[in-house]
Structure 1
Amino acid sequence: MATAPSATTSTSPAVYDWNPESASFPEQFAWGAATAAYQIEGGWDADGKGLNVWDTFTHQGGDRVFKNHTGDVACGSYTLWEEDLKCIKQLGLTHYRFSLSWSRLLPDGTTGFINQKGVDYYDKVIDGLLANRVTPVVTLYHFDLPQHLEDQGGWRSGAIVETFDAYAQFCFRTFGDRVKLWLTINEPYVVAALGYEKGIMAPGVTEPGTGAYLAAHNMIKAHAAAWHSYDKLFREKQGGLVSIALNSDWAEPSDPNSPADQEAAKRHMAFCLDWFAAPIFLDGDYPAIMKSKISAVCKRQNCPSSRLPEFTSEERMMIKSTADFFSINYYTTRKIKHQDNTSCQPSFFSDQEAVQVMDPSWPVASGSSWLAVVPWGLRKLLKYIKDTYNHPVIYITENGFSQSDPAPLGDTQRWEYFRLTLQEILKEQRSPTPGPRPIQDQAMDTDLLPP
């Protein structure tokens, strides 16, 4: 699939001489669906599985989870996998993305004890997919950190880099003879910002201005360590590819004629996508715009140094170029407005000096008040990735539309959302330059949590 013509700063999609009736996807286009272990498996304490941070978070009750729901049962995929496989076959998917429950395989998060029943379960999943000519795309970590590791500091602890690498090596060794597409960490932005800054997602830590940066720092190093382990120990024999699943909105300046809003939109992209993509795909370091902004805010707040950790020169060399393709999760677009940070209180969100605004003309998914339906934002995001990160192969590993519960059986809104989104992806083929080959993960994606 080829990429789109240059995006503009307009807040509406550009006009193209393009006929959807005659357009088609190339044969190599991959059609997939995505799930996550905690969201679908259930069996939270079955067959020797250990506790993870989402088990703990939801069991604490209160108003932190909608209607006090838990993932104890969820979709019951741990016992109903064969039924899920029937759905996958019925959809005619070429790829299926799912995550391994770290604590189902390694109950305390370490390789000191291996839960064979967990291994057997994922062997069954992988073998079932391959028997039906469906390519497994495996995520090592999708939000559900073993509770034992969180008790030792979780992603805020430097020790987790080595622990994650050992877990990754175990998975490569155990499943890598059949799995050829790996994702190390899903949406590190969400883990860092919502898990260790705001605390509204597991593990529920609130450390404003420091927690997100520290967690992200260690996730980047953990990803890079796992990539190098695969590259050195497994790639030659197994022949697979390894990346990290990043998420990003597309950012439009609230006032396209305002230089301040234009710069704020750039900062939004830097603090969201580029925070992780720049070190991993470019030079091993954080975006310059992010470093300078945080440093300036810290000086105003009389901090002894920047709250953004620094990579050593050795770490930068270790981190750069540690992804074999670009994996992106996209849901929505935001208008971004500049806002001065005059607060004396440290905050990851205030550091950006940018606020998000929803355009009232954009339709909103009935199941998520934050999910403005902006399909053309995905095309602009793909264009940005292509231009910024040297034309990588791109997999769209999450994209979807949420509806209220119960959803109408007609489901026409979801159908229209997918139609418009796929049209925007098709437009990318007009560019003569090499471009992305996405997995369009829509039909079974349940990852629709507040940003």
Structure 2
Amino acid sequence: MISSLGGPVIPNSYIMKLLVLVLCSAVALTCGEVRQGRKFPDDFVFGVATASYQIEGAWDEDGKGENIWDYLVHTNPDAIADRSTGDVACDSYHKYKRDVEMLRELGVGSYRFSLSWSRILPSGFANHVNEAGIQYYNNLIDELLKYNIDPIITLYHWDLPQKLQELGGWLNPLVGDWFEDYARVVYEHFSDRVKSFITINEPAQVCYEGYGTDTKAPLLNATGIGEYICARNIALAHAKAYHLYNNVYKPKYGGECGYTFAVDSTAPLTDSEEDKYAVELLTQQQWAIYSDPVFSKDGGFPKELLELVAKKSAAQGFPRSRLIDFTEEEKAYIRGTSDFFGVNHYSGSLASPSLYTSQYAVPSSMDDIEVGQTVSDDWLQAASSWFQKMPNSVYITMKLIQNRYGDVPIYITENGWSSYGGIDDEDRVDYYRSALESALDALDEGINLKGYYAWSLMDNFEWLAGYTERFGLYQVDYDDPERTRTPRKSAFVYKHIIKTRMVDPDYEPESNVMTIDEGH
């Protein structure tokens, strides 16, 4: 998930007038209006997503090594809102067959899950492969394929082996070699059956939140420096893993390999040139610093961000810029290394330099761009403090990507809503319906959107929030040793959307009993 950068709340009436101009100018029909009869294409992929540390449990079982989240929750329990851990989580290590049964109940065609690097390579290094870890993922993959559910594997979803972190983690220039070695083990064991891979999930949250601030493990908080070193190293690591797949395994097995980024919907506070430019700077700081090296025409980091950081660095007394661009050889090596653009999208904001305050550390990437953000006071607030429901935000996000990179294939690899729990989750139902209507708006305009993965299949360990925030289509009873999963109303609604390939605003589940339809 992604974290808010904060900002004041301003009156709704002014913002909504601006939103009509900014968000609806390219849409012929009224924003937010549910238009019955529109259908998703037959080849549009519907799925759900999870991540290894958040659901698997079995944190030290069957030879698994320690990762940075294991280390954090055990050495600094106060960092987690409810002092919980992922030691057991949803116990998917032992209950993967129930997870697959839930996928069959929903009728999804694909399941996106991540692998635990330290479950496969306990020390992080490829000299010792943990066969029990390989067997667990073989079992899961085979169970999925048994029921014609396509697995899509994310190699890295934030749980770096602790031994590698002690060597500098994503700040060590050798991390790309370590990641390539890990990727080779994964491809060797699974690419005969798995045809879709994602190298890294949300590099911004790895780099900015883990190394540039203290909202994700390893909580390094090396502001203005750590996130930039990490951004450089992680791009090269991704490229190594991509080229390995593309050159060795794709010719043998077919398939695709991509990269997933967290992208907020960002719009200008006003129609002034300054606010439009603020959107561009915020885009560069939040996600284009990670995606431009792969998808832009020229490669490398965004030009304006490079110039701003160099200028700020010099003024702050640094002998060189804190953000070092790639060499021409590195740019060529990284550019084009993704078969699709994976986007995790949740929320949005309005941007303006007039909203910037001195709340950010110096140096920091937010201080480098001097842009502030705000939200409307009537955007529905989720359980997560960083998350508000911005109107038509999926469409806006798709347009941001299309305008920047052209007709790139896009998969929404995460989208969902956080609550405090409970089975009757009307806010989540409304969010999914609105998000998928917004996706239909994007399809109507010819945006190359190929699929949608709901976050998440079930409640899980929500990082520093622990179990205080729930994203699941299925509720998990953490007081029950069996970790019983119970479908929420949103699960029935999502199932109906998948089955009919339409968003029906009037659909109500006929019962609270979830069954498996024929063919699943």
Query: TM over 0.5, yes or no?
Result: yes
Distance change >3 Å, CA 439–CA 199, structure 1 → 2: same
Runs of at least 5 residues in structure 2 that lack an aligned partner in the other structure:
1-17, 466-520
Q: Check whether the contact 1:196–1:204 (CA below 8 A) recurs between aligned residues.
A: yes
User: Is the Cα–Cα contact under 8 Å of residues 50 and 456 in structure 2 kept in the other structure?
Assistant: no
Aligned ranges for residues 354-373 of structure 1 at < 5 Å? 354-365=371-382, 367-373=383-389
Q: Show the 5 A alignment for 1:259-278.
A: 259-278=273-292
Superposition deviation, residue 12 in structure 1: 5.3
Deviation at 1:413, TM superposition (A): 1.2
Amino acid at match of 2:92: S
Cα 1:52–1:343 change in 2 (3 A) is: closer
Q: How far apart are 1:340 and its partner, in Å?
A: 7.4
The CA distance in 2 between the partners of 1:439 and 1:418, in whole Å, is: 11
Q: 253, 257, 272: which one pairs with 1:258?
A: 272
In 1, the alpha carbon distance for the partners of 2:461 and 2:403 equals 27
> What one-letter code is carried by the residue in structure 2 that aligns with 1:257?
D
Matched, 1:150 2:165: yes
1:380 is aligned to 2:387 = no
Identity of aligned residues (%): 35
Q: What aligned pairs does 1:40-119 form with structure 2 within 5 A after superposition?
A: 40-119=55-134
Candidates 359, 362, 375, aligned match of 1:345 = 362
Structure 2 equivalent of residue 3 of structure 1? none
Distance 1:447 1:331, change over 3 A: farther
Do the aligned residues in 2 keep the contact of 1:140 with 1:168 (CA within 8 Å)?
A: yes
Shift of 1:33: 0.4
Q: 2:86·2:461 contact (CA, 8 Å) conserved in 1?
A: no
Q: Is 1:17 paired with 2:35?
A: no
Deviations 1:366-407 (A, max 9, x none): x21221012512101101212211211111000010001xx2
For residues 55 and 450 of structure 1, the distance between their equivalents in structure 2, rounded to whole angstroms, comes to 12
Distance in 1 of aligned mates of 2:196 and 2:181: 18
Shift of 1:227: 0.7
Question: Using the alignment, how far apart are the partners of 1:193 and 1:343 within structure 2?
Answer: 13
- The residue aligned with 2:405 is 389
Native 8 Å contact 2:306 2:325 kept in 1: no
Structure 2 CA distance for partners of 1:293 and 1:354, relative to 1, 3 Å: same
Structure-2-length-normalised TM-score = 0.81
Letter in 2 for 1:10: L
Say which SS state the counterpart of residue 389 (structure 2) adopts. Answer: coil
- TM-score w.r.t. the length of structure 1 is 0.93
SS at 2:305's partner residue?
helix
Change (3 A) 1:289 1:107: same
CA shift for structure 1 position 341: 6.9
Distance in 1, Cα, partners of 2:215 & 2:386: 15
Structure 1 residues 60 and 448, CA, compared in 2 at 3 Å: closer, same or farther? closer
Paired with 1:326 and 1:194, the residues of 2 have a C-alpha distance of 21
Letter in 2 for 1:172: Y
Specify the SS of the correspondent of 2:286.
helix
Preserved contact between residue 95 and residue 439 of structure 1 (Cα < 8 Å)? no
**Cα RMSD between the aligned structures?**
2.1
Matched-pair contact (CA < 8 Å) for 1:391–1:436: no
Contact 1:32 1:442 in 2 (8 A): no
Deviates more, 1:408-417 or 1:125-134: 408-417
Distance 2:416 2:362 in 1: 36
